[in-house]
Structure 1
Amino acid sequence: MLKNNSNYLKNILSLFSILIFPFSISAQSHISTQSHAGKVTNVAYLEDSDGSVFSAGTDGFLVKWTEDGMGEHYQISDLTIKMIARSPNGNEIAVYESDGASLNRVSVWNWKTFTRKYAFRFTDSLTSLAYSAKGTYIICGTASVSGAFFLNSMNGSIIRNKIKGNTGVVNFIQTSDSEKSAVMYSPKGNLIYYNLQNGEQKAKFNTEYDLSQFCLFNNGVFGAGVRGSGIFVVQAVTGSTVGSFTAQNPILIGSNKSKDLYYIVNDNRQFKVYKIANDRNKAVIAPELMRTFSGLKTGEQIVCATLAGEEIYAGTNSGNIYKFDYAQAERVDVQQALTDKMYEKIYDIASVGNDFYFLTPSSIFQSSYESSNIDKKAANSGYTNIIPYGQNIILWSKDSKKAVVLLELASGKMTQLFAPEGTIQTLKLYGNSLIDVESNSQVNLFDIQNLKKRELYKGTSIQDAILFTENDLYVAKSSGSSPNVPLIYVNVNTQETVPLSMKGNVAYSLTYDYDKNPAEIYGITIYTNAQTKKLTTSIFAYKPQTKSSRYLLSITDEDSEAFANLFDNILYTNIGKSQVRSYNLSTRRDFQYRRSASMPIKTVRNQDKMVVLNRDGSISWYNPTLNSVLADWYLTTEGSWFEF
């Protein structure tokens, strides 16, 4: 539904399992041709299925592309999705998500219900991810001596001794149709066959070493991979090389169902599709150019691809999906992407009185659920965050040294308040002052009326800070720095520092009710649970009058980017990442809101409505007393609201 002004025009190891709140009835996808917001990392087709293709990206989205060219979008992670594998049952998909460092997680999702069945966390990065032919196992290759792990696809538990001994690092695993055997490729230069009934190694062949993108084709007769600027094709049952061909950064497209091997080479704003044909199951024929396509944007390249029947689906480094046939033709065809950048990202939201304000890359504007009018207040010159101040707006940029400015909404006038010395981590309002944390090492106070700035505290690993009274400063930090606690009290006048009795590795996202007396301080802490030995993220309440604390909500997982904010007597948070939750401080009622296609990152509200800012830059409207979404709005590149 397109909303243009007020008109509605009608048209969605330390290895351990992590269970999260299922949200099969509390989530919804959206259907569009919107591109990924970043590189496409994987595309996956399932033989003998409904013809759909899944794409995954650095934006944490999975998208199911159907034959009509439409994509069903759903964000399953705030991390990069590096690999995906589709279950033979057609309903489930396994996902490898990683932060590129210590967090390496495989999760399994039911696409019909958008439910995460389970997740499994590895200490090492993954080198391969595959379902067995019947879907009994999920097989994970890891960058460790242990190598491959077999998981029960029903519950995510490790199946011990499925293979006797360690496989070492393998970057390709495929089982036979009966699941009685499996073949693995090791970058050391081996093709290894295992009997999955007794775990014994059946055969091991020396072959080409250090191949990436390894795949089988022609019913497993041939294997192929890339090393340097070469494609190497080997006999899968002997390991012997049957062909090697020069290709510049090729993207291999192999399938057991295909008797030939295909690959794509990028060439400036064109890309070319080649075929390495099977020659009587004994050899292969030198590459033959099949198709040449133009239409890539400047700097855009194909980075992954899959065969899907008579077509190829390909993803690019800019987030686009292309779909094309590979029947030979001499002409150069202009290929349009299935996808496009349809929406403008909303950076931040704020509530001023009964009005809601929105910050985009180009402007600051006011709008409401009732009218949907877009009332532009000012141009945005590179800011990423806004704070309401009376009937005005303060603009600033997180992780930047950009000057903080005041926007007078009535006149549109902007006035510089101060230029930070370091990058700003957090900026909060305290009466007529601003409290900022710069470079994780300094807490400052800026008097808005007198335009004066002074340092309140200096330390290390500072995450957040709030001024509770004119003299009482509370600082959230990492407990890895001295003093070794996550929360400290600082007397602003005397500079006396008092470690507070609270366990945790780190604290952040501090908030309290400025108008309430006596008030409690609320925030988030991450700690290792003494009983389960697992990382736990909790919302805490700290009472300065009694120097006591308690936990309000907890999850058995690490969530270092969760928020906590107050409206009246309600604490809002997205702890657990997938949904917004409200906690009534009087009744202790924990209430969960249904989420949209993207994960929530911020909430603001007035007496009648709540607006949730989602990670993809969309917003969701709610009646605060109901858990269902009133509407999901995306801002089009033309400057109108589009409603799902």
Structure 2
Amino acid sequence: MKIHTKRAWTIPFVLTLVVAFSQADTLLAQPRALVRSGHTDEITAMATLPGENLLFTAGEDGKLMVWDTRTEALLQSIRADRFPVRAIAPFPNGNEVALYSSDGNRLHRISLWNWKTGQRRYLHTPDGEVLWMEASPRGSYLLYSVPGLRSMRILRASSGRRLPFLQQATSIVSWFVTAGSEERVMTYSPSSGNIVYRNIANGRVEGEFEGPSDLSNLHLLSQRRFAAAETATGTLAVVDLLSGNVVDQAEAGRIRKIHHDALREEILVLSQTSGRMPEIRRFRFHQGRLEETSPAMRLPQHTINNIASLDRLLYGSDLEGRLFLLPHQGDDPTLFAESIIEPITTIATSNDRLWIFTQEELLSLPTQFLADMRRARPGQPISPVGATSFSVAMGKGARIVPGNHDGEKLLLWSPEDSRSPLKRIDGLTGEVTDLPIRLSSGVRSIYAHGNEILTLSRAGELAMVNLDSGNETFSYRGTGFQTAMRTDRDIFLGKAYTGGFLDSALLRIDPRTGQTVPMETDARLIFSLTYDPRRGRLFATGISNSQGGETATVIEVFDGPNYSRRRTILEIPGEYLDARITVDPLRGAVYTTLDDRGGVLRWDGSRVSELSRNQAHMPRRLVLNDHYVFSVNWDGTLSLISRFSEESVLDITVVRTASGAAWIAQRPDGLFHTSHPALADPYIISVNDSRTTLEDLIVREEEPEKELPEDEEKEEDEASRFESGRFHDSLIDEETDYFDPESGDPAPSS
């Protein structure tokens, strides 16, 4: 990472194993309670830790989840990466787990986590796709292999430092096993079929055997001399690792996964029939022969794509991310966990309300409830919440249009609604009104300015449209357009640099004359723009390339006469095309999701600091009000971070129910409030502290006062009511400085 200040435009910070932030990491304890929601996408990796009753799952959603198979509780949920997690390697101590994640192309990362605290120990960047990864039996090393002549890599587990071991040519290694002594490693190369035993420290070959080529899905059996594998012809085989010979093989359908159940001494094969129906077949290797122990278990109603066993229990996952407890024979699979989240798409704030948007619902919470939850204590009720909800079909991609809006009403863009893609929302009542304006299907972004919107299409057309008349007042054409925004005087356009003499990745356009001025920038692609109207600052987020060919994501700030003064305030290696920033209009601070650790960074004009990280969620969009940084997360939840303490204070999860959307608000210490009592259930909320019960963590509302019959009411004059304190207290509001988060203007109540 590079952090830039006013005194020095470029100050390099090395971010490998030491994090260069002003705020040190706080070692977190395992969460007392978690919303028990599963993966939101396909589970790509499963692993178990015998003797610990732990099941690890990871998926396309970049999350690591740890389950207690005895209590079925969710012990931990970590948003480990913005890329899908491809492999899991638990360490024998039971506390640490290594994850390999990748975008499936050229970005690859290995991270080591203490899953109990949610702390990432280090991040390592492999030089290619990871083919196999495992922790050594004593936990001293983390080993992995990549394509290449020198395929093996060995890291010191405690530090992530690469060790100078096994640097000899090995050919491509697709599978390996480390000896219990951690002195030797056995490797298998699919191109040649060679099985080679090497000394880890000096690389000396201590044994070599020629086995079958192109084996896959290899798993070591309890008799460590043998391994189960899928052959090049698709059969199940057992290979002798001390001779390379195939001892026996059997037909097992179209094999997808092979798993070894050590307790039952069985080889489990997840395969497909000719009709593409998943089935699980069980084999036992005994006295040199493979024998199928029971008829195939077919799963006609499920798309199981992964399996893992632990203590006589068999787990499977499907393409939707659901986790099942699979029967050994006959019965149907039992649902173990699934995502119960109704994703939050966007939010908005007004003087006294928080508006939460999902695809089908608009929820409204009073901001007083947020303060009440922060102050709540166990066993003490809070004031009645007064939440409301409206059924509004807005679609998956609905979002608040950024910019300087005209008046108190917000503008909502629903790309999936072809008939009425633009809607106005009353920030006081939540009323949604369709606008009679049609947009082309190719619109990629919209920016609001007063009573006009700026639309940008994928075809390279920039247009300004009046919201009252629907007429186009300005248009501009070009190529490579990525993002656009407008101020009172200018239109700024972010694009891809094409290499022309007068071209730039950032253009300034005069909407009155169409005059275009290229602006100087280091970025070759600018994909996000934000403006600070009070200070006349333009912030541009883009991708830059160094002379050495290294790619980085940068945030630049432009100010001064004609925006001629430019500084780079943040630079992180790699491409983060989803990074976004938002500006505090009163204080001028900048908040951004451009953080390779998955947090929120704050630039105060001179330095960059990190806000408290929430290990369970990764921020996607940020919204500010006078008290909180609201983070709309990639998993569809909402997190609140205090602007003053910079600590995480509350998570809000909208839950799908048969009667519509309900919600859970939960503090970091586990205290929670639900919109419906039925959500206070162990299958919805996992409690992971043996000294705490679910009842101990519930924050309830005060019971409404019962009205007395008219004949029993006591008369009291205004003076006595005032002197008693009841009338006086009811008239006093907590003083807060609210402001419009888009324009920066003080709200009427300020």
Which has more helix, going by share of residues?
Answer: 2
Deviation at 1:361, TM superposition (A): 1.8
- Partner of 1:593 in structure 2? 612
* CA distances 1:286-307 after superposition (whole Å, capped 9, x unpaired): 322267375x7x5x42222223
| Structure 1 residues 434-445: aligned runs within 5 Å | 434-439=453-458, 441-445=460-464
Q: Does 1:565 align with 2:571?
A: no
The equivalent position to 1:245 in structure 2, one of 235, 246, 250, is: 250
Against the structure 1 CA distance between its residues 127 and 401, is the aligned structure 2 distance closer, same or farther, given a 3 Å change threshold?
farther
Contact 1:457/1:492 (CA < 8 Å) preserved in 2?
Answer: no
The equivalent position to 1:548 in structure 2, one of 541, 561, 565, is: 565
**d(CA) in 2 for partners of 1:497 and 1:288?**
75
Q: Does 1:212 align with 2:208?
A: no
Deviation at 1:403, TM superposition (A): 5.7
Contact 1:129/1:140 (CA < 8 Å) preserved in 2?
Answer: yes
- The alignment yields a C-alpha RMSD, in angstroms, of 3.0
- Describe the SS at the equivalent of 1:210: coil
- Describe the SS at the equivalent of 1:512: strand
Contact 2:494/2:526 (CA < 8 Å) preserved in 1?
Answer: yes
Deviation at 1:100, TM superposition (A): 0.9
Q: Does 1:474 align with 2:474?
A: no
| Structure 1 residues 70-219: aligned runs within 5 Å | 70-71=73-74, 72-160=76-164, 162-188=165-191, 189-219=193-223
Q: Which has the larger radius of gyration?
A: 2
The equivalent position to 1:289 in structure 2, one of 287, 290, 294, is: 294
Does 132-141 or 532-541 show the bigger shift? 532-541
* CA distances 1:59-108 after superposition (whole Å, capped 9, x unpaired): 00000011211122111111110111112222221111111111011111
**d(CA) in 2 for partners of 1:96 and 1:84?**
7
- Partner of 1:279 in structure 2? 286
* Residue type of the alignment partner of 1:561: D
- Partner of 2:744 in structure 1? none
Contact 2:188/2:196 (CA < 8 Å) preserved in 1?
Answer: yes
* CA distances 1:230-277 after superposition (whole Å, capped 9, x unpaired): 222211211111222222333211267774322234578986443221
**d(CA) in 1 for partners of 2:145 and 2:600?**
35
| Structure 1 residues 337-486: aligned runs within 5 Å | 337-369=335-367, 370=369, 371=385, 373-376=387-390, 378-381=392-395, 383-387=397-401, 389=405, 390-397=407-414, 404-409=421-426, 412-420=432-440, 422-424=442-444, 426-439=445-458, 441-453=460-472, 456-470=475-489, 472-480=490-498, 482=500, 485-486=504-505
Contact 1:364/1:380 (CA < 8 Å) preserved in 2?
Answer: no
**d(CA) in 1 for partners of 2:503 and 2:127?**
26
Against the structure 1 CA distance between its residues 223 and 258, is the aligned structure 2 distance closer, same or farther, given a 3 Å change threshold?
farther
- Partner of 1:3 in structure 2? none
Contact 1:461/1:481 (CA < 8 Å) preserved in 2?
Answer: no
The equivalent position to 1:632 in structure 2, one of 627, 639, 651, is: 651
Higher RCO, 1 vs 2 (CA within 8 Å, ≥6 residues apart): 2
- Describe the SS at the equivalent of 2:125: strand
Does 72-81 or 342-351 show the bigger shift? 342-351
- Partner of 2:58 in structure 1? 56
Does 231-240 or 619-628 show the bigger shift? 619-628
Deviation at 1:407, TM superposition (A): 3.2
Against the structure 1 CA distance between its residues 318 and 381, is the aligned structure 2 distance closer, same or farther, given a 3 Å change threshold?
closer
Against the structure 1 CA distance between its residues 481 and 314, is the aligned structure 2 distance closer, same or farther, given a 3 Å change threshold?
farther
Deviation at 1:193, TM superposition (A): 2.0
* CA distances 1:621-644 after superposition (whole Å, capped 9, x unpaired): 343222222221111112221123
**d(CA) in 1 for partners of 2:395 and 2:595?**
33
Against the structure 1 CA distance between its residues 25 and 373, is the aligned structure 2 distance closer, same or farther, given a 3 Å change threshold?
farther
**d(CA) in 2 for partners of 1:553 and 1:474?**
21
Deviation at 1:199, TM superposition (A): 0.4
Q: Does 1:641 align with 2:650?
A: no
Against the structure 1 CA distance between its residues 382 and 311, is the aligned structure 2 distance closer, same or farther, given a 3 Å change threshold?
closer
Does 502-511 or 269-278 show the bigger shift? 269-278
- Partner of 2:269 in structure 1? 263
* Residue type of the alignment partner of 1:375: S
Structure 2 residue ranges without an equivalent (≥5): 1-14, 370-384, 667-750
* Residue type of the alignment partner of 2:38: S
Contact 1:152/1:158 (CA < 8 Å) preserved in 2?
Answer: yes
Does 427-436 or 452-461 show the bigger shift? 452-461
* Residue type of the alignment partner of 2:176: I
Aligned length in residues = 612
Contact 2:326/2:332 (CA < 8 Å) preserved in 1?
Answer: no
Deviation at 1:344, TM superposition (A): 0.8
Against the structure 1 CA distance between its residues 486 and 145, is the aligned structure 2 distance closer, same or farther, given a 3 Å change threshold?
farther
Contact 1:392/1:406 (CA < 8 Å) preserved in 2?
Answer: no
Deviation at 1:547, TM superposition (A): 0.5
Does 177-186 or 144-153 show the bigger shift? 144-153
The equivalent position to 1:224 in structure 2, one of 202, 225, 228, is: 228
Against the structure 1 CA distance between its residues 333 and 256, is the aligned structure 2 distance closer, same or farther, given a 3 Å change threshold?
closer
Q: What is the TM-score when the length of structure 1 is the normalising length?
A: 0.87
- Describe the SS at the equivalent of 2:202: coil
Contact 1:359/1:386 (CA < 8 Å) preserved in 2?
Answer: no
Q: What is the TM-score when the length of structure 2 is the normalising length?
A: 0.75
Deviation at 1:529, TM superposition (A): 5.8
* CA distances 1:33-80 after superposition (whole Å, capped 9, x unpaired): 3221111111111234x2211100000000001121112211111111
Structure 1 residue ranges without an equivalent (≥5): 1-15
Deviation at 1:582, TM superposition (A): 3.1
* Residue type of the alignment partner of 1:31: L
Contact 2:30/2:116 (CA < 8 Å) preserved in 1?
Answer: no
**d(CA) in 2 for partners of 1:150 and 1:400?**
52
Against the structure 1 CA distance between its residues 197 and 608, is the aligned structure 2 distance closer, same or farther, given a 3 Å change threshold?
closer
Q: Does 1:604 align with 2:620?
A: no
